[in-house]
Amino acid sequence: MNAPNAENLLQVWEARHNAHPIRRALALLEVAAPDVGIEAWSAMPIGQRDARLLDLYETLFGSRLESVTHCPRCAETLETSFATGDIRLPLDETKLSKTFKFRKQGCSIEYRLPSSEDLLQVIATNDDPEDAQLQLLRRCVIEAKRAGKRQSPEQLPADVVDRLADEMARNDPAADVQIQLNCPVCGHVWNVAFDIVWHFWSALEDWAQRTLADVHLLARAYGWNEHVILGLSPTRRQHYIEMVRA
């Protein structure tokens, strides 16, 4: 995946400043690979989308990820650092745009994996988590049959629905990456979900602030406009900044 140039990246940061994380994720991928198209990015299963975001993060910001959290047992503040390689799962290309079959208790269900578009639609029309799960199933279940008769997702036994949700998660493992944390004070060990979109946006915020400060410094010193300054390579920009500060 190619790194977007500084000007395009700043545009995404500005335009998606108040946007939902899903829309931020899609905008970042679209600017990095516009040839794929926003519709294809929106239709991609969440884990596959996130795997690509992780690659893009690495291209732009390097392989280190930092996390600050609190121990749920003793409330100690924990600063953890890990590498993109620690959480990257092998990407199964054969599961792209694929439908799956699931059989349980006489039910036969054909489904696809939830995508960003599915989640956006569910979020837009639902506040109740139970309704949201049902609505997501209505979108992702292509056909459900019980004893040969067609069923709507709400007609399926609750146990089958639960197993189906587990099966969907297993088929898109990168959608739920867990990191194990270990408290050095009380020894408590627990898992937290790793959220690539949150990490990405947080790194982008830092980068945007630094970049705007660079533009400010160089524009004032040399009278160059923002477009010209952003067009400089990072190395060349850094040299000018050092000369201004000398």
- Chain residues binding Zn ion by CB under 5 A are 71, 73-74, 76, 183, 185-186, 188
Structure tokens at 152: 């709507």
Give 71 or 137: the residue with its C-beta nearer to Zn ion: 71
Nearest by Cα to 3 from 243, 234, 237, 242: 234
Q: How far is the CB of 5 from Zn ion (least distance, A)?
A: 44
Q: How far is the CB of 72 from Zn ion (least distance, A)?
A: 8
Q: How far is the CB of 67 from Zn ion (least distance, A)?
A: 15
Give 81 or 235: the residue with its C-beta nearer to Zn ion: 81
Q: How far is the CB of 187 from Zn ion (least distance, A)?
A: 7
Which residue reads 């489904």 in tokens? 111
Q: How far is the CB of 86 from Zn ion (least distance, A)?
A: 22
Give 74 or 212: the residue with its C-beta nearer to Zn ion: 74
Give 73 or 98: the residue with its C-beta nearer to Zn ion: 73
Give 146 or 188: the residue with its C-beta nearer to Zn ion: 188
